[in-house]
A and B are shown apart, each in its own frame.
Chain A
Amino acid sequence: MLSRAASSTQITHGQRLWLYGLVALVMAFLVIPCLIIIPLSFSDSQYLEFPPRGWSLRWYEAFFTSHEWLRSAVVSLKVACSTTILATVLGTLASYGLHKRAGNLDPIVRGALMLPMMVPLIFVAIGAFFVYSRLDLNNTLTGLVLAHTTLAIPFVIIAVSNGLASFDANQERAARSLGASPLRAFLTVTLPQIRISVISGMLFAFVTSFDEVVVSLFISSGATSTLTKRMFANIRDQVDPTVAAISSMLVVLSIVVLIAAQFVRRDGVKATDNR
């Protein structure tokens, strides 16, 4: 096995052992911090050790019995769901418009819509804080949703544009020539075919909003604090393993979303194969 050629350059697996070892180490470095928090969260002590000396659910209990934590979790969920809807609608509209128009301004419009993804988050944070203080939007759910939607739009546009690029526009033209209104043609012909991209855009939008910290630090407080804002303050100021319990639930949530994304994509591939 080890002396067998590993690639077309005739290098053997044996000669590449060091590479396998190094890559395994890097993979461990990438994954362990994401997963180690799960066993730690079941520790029964204030000090997080691995492996934990005793097991308990006390940190989960601390979360689910705390009015403050639950309230911020509800804020985060509400904001993330509203953001998902708003960003998916606005992002899909924009990418459809950009896909169809092909005018001279398109690169500029696209570039501007991509900006929230490229500029440092602190820009969006102080920018939103600054303009919200004049519009009385600081510490409101509306303000959070608008800011998070701005951050999520680029991800939706990327996902939906990918879908539109591989969609055959003649099908929509056929629907139009058979008398469908533009809206109907889009909803009944185009949208069902790019749904995979739209759904992965939605997943991105949800995760973007639910995990967002820096902007929320500036524009939310008190009753509108998001879960991540409260976690940030908690991590910085005290060592409370309740954060470990919440983190574990967030990791599980990301894994579920990741699997959902893979599942949706595979489903999409199958649907295309059948056609």
Chain B
Amino acid sequence: MTAAALDTQPLNAGLLGDDERRHRLAMFGLSVPAMLLVALVLLVPFSWLAWLSLFDASGALSAENYARLLRPAYVNSFVSTLEVAALVTGVCILLGYPVAYLLSQLPKRAAQILLVFVILPFWTSVLVRTYAWLVLLQREGIINTWLKQLGLISESLPLVNNLTGTVIGMVHVMLPFLILPLYASMRAIDPVYLRAAANCGASPAQAFRQVFLPLSAPGLGAGAALTFVLCLGFYLTPALLGGGRVAMWSTQIADAVAKFANWGAASALSVALLVVTGLILWLMKWGVRRLGTSLGER
């Protein structure tokens, strides 16, 4: 660029602006193919189904499909979905928090090696793991056989084809989703705070309760929210380990389509699930942010 060109910059500002716009358009164009695919497989059919859910069988505008959601069978499945999600999230917190805590206190190298134990299930197919649980938990399965051989029980425990099996399988799937982000957030807590607490005379338990626990709360909240929301959409595990006794939201949607070809019901169920999921995510985000700021202010 010559000095003259620099002097005349205001004159070609329009051209530069065009260039900028063209560049932006080209860059936008790069994400169009991926967008088209997501639109084809997810956005278009979902909007279409949501639109269809507003009409009854005769094609008239009605809330029939949504009124149907108030039937006991559906209401029960909503309640049991929320219960299962809450139960699984609770168990994941109880099991996952200590693991993330210990890993965050270990030297980085040791923690990385132990993290393989968390990442391996993460990479293993959910179907394979669910099958393994079926083999472990069934009536004549490995766990019942062992317990009988040890003389701890005389009758096989009903561990699968019910809520117990579903929760065990789901906890196994969800635990890495809680541990990994929680571990990352605990790593970010400066150990200086704990040392300071110890210096001020706090016992290890006090330092943990009054310093570490509140500092890890935002990470825990975010992880728990993710776990809870992902639980709401589970299909595979309840379908295989629930033995038809655990009616989850997703299994109801699948049944509405596959067994009854009832698209109206399936769409209304999906819309309701989406709304509830969005609402919970929004509430949790809001809660976590508030928690974060209130801790920051202290």
A binds B: yes
A211 touches B98 (CB 8 A): no
- B194 part of interface (Cβ distance < 8 Å): yes
Task: Please indicate the chain A residues that have their CB under 8 angstroms from the CB of B260 in the complex.
Answer: none
**Of B2-10, B127-135, B286-294, the one touching chain A:** B127-135
- A90 part of interface (Cβ distance < 8 Å): yes
A8 touches B121 (CB 8 A): no
Task: Please indicate the chain A residues that have their CB under 8 angstroms from the CB of B202 in the complex.
Answer: 9
**Of A66-74, A107-115, A165-173, A267-275, the one touching chain B:** A107-115
- Kindly state the separation between the CA atoms of A79 and B134 in the bound complex, as whole angstroms: 28
- For A131, give its contact among B23, B34, B48, B270 (CB under 8 Å): B48
In A103-138, which residues have CB < 8 Å from any B CB? 103, 105, 109, 112-113, 115-116, 119-131
B129 to chain A, nearest CB (A): 5
B252 closest partner in A (C-beta): A122
Which A positions have Cβ atoms within 8 angstroms of B? 6-11, 15, 19-20, 22-23, 26-27, 29-31, 33-34, 36-37, 40, 47-50, 90-91, 93-94, 96-98, 100-101, 103, 105, 109, 112-113, 115-116, 119-131, 146-147, 149-150, 153, 157, 182, 207, 210-211, 213-214, 218, 228, 231-232, 235-236, 243-244, 247, 250-251, 254-255, 257-258
- For A258, give its contact among B27, B95, B120, B208 (CB under 8 Å): B120
Contact with A along B257-279 (1 / 0, CB 8 A): 11000010010001001100100
21 A–B contact pairs at CB < 8 A?
A: A7-B204, A8-B198, A20-B102, A27-B118, A30-B117, A37-B128, A37-B131, A37-B132, A37-B135, A48-B141, A97-B27, A101-B28, A105-B28, A115-B42, A116-B41, A122-B235, A124-B41, A214-B236, A235-B130, A235-B240, A258-B116
Task: Please indicate the chain B residues that have their CB under 8 angstroms from the CB of A7 in the complex.
Answer: 105, 191, 194, 204
B253 touches A34 (CB 8 A): no
Which among A9, A109, A213 has the highest number of chain B CB atoms within 10 Å?
A9
B102 touches A11 (CB 8 A): no
A237 to chain B, nearest CB (A): 11
- For A103, give its contact among B28, B34, B45 (CB under 8 Å): B28
A247 closest partner in B (C-beta): B128
A254 touches B120 (CB 8 A): yes
In B201-255, which residues have CB < 8 Å from any A CB? 202, 204, 207-208, 232-236, 239-240, 249-250, 253-254
In B90-109, which residues have CB < 8 Å from any A CB? 95-96, 98-99, 101-102, 105
Q: Is the interface of B mostly helix, strand, loop or mixed?
A: helix
Which among B48, B123, B254, B258 has the highest number of chain A CB atoms within 10 Å?
B123
Given A30-B117, A113-B34, A146-B41, A214:B172 Cβ within 8 A: no
- For A254, give its contact among B41, B117, B123, B141 (CB under 8 Å): B123
- Kindly state the separation between the CA atoms of A33 and B145 in the bound complex, as whole angstroms: 16
B99 touches A115 (CB 8 A): no
Given A26-B99, A33-B133, A34-B124, A127:B24 Cβ within 8 A: no
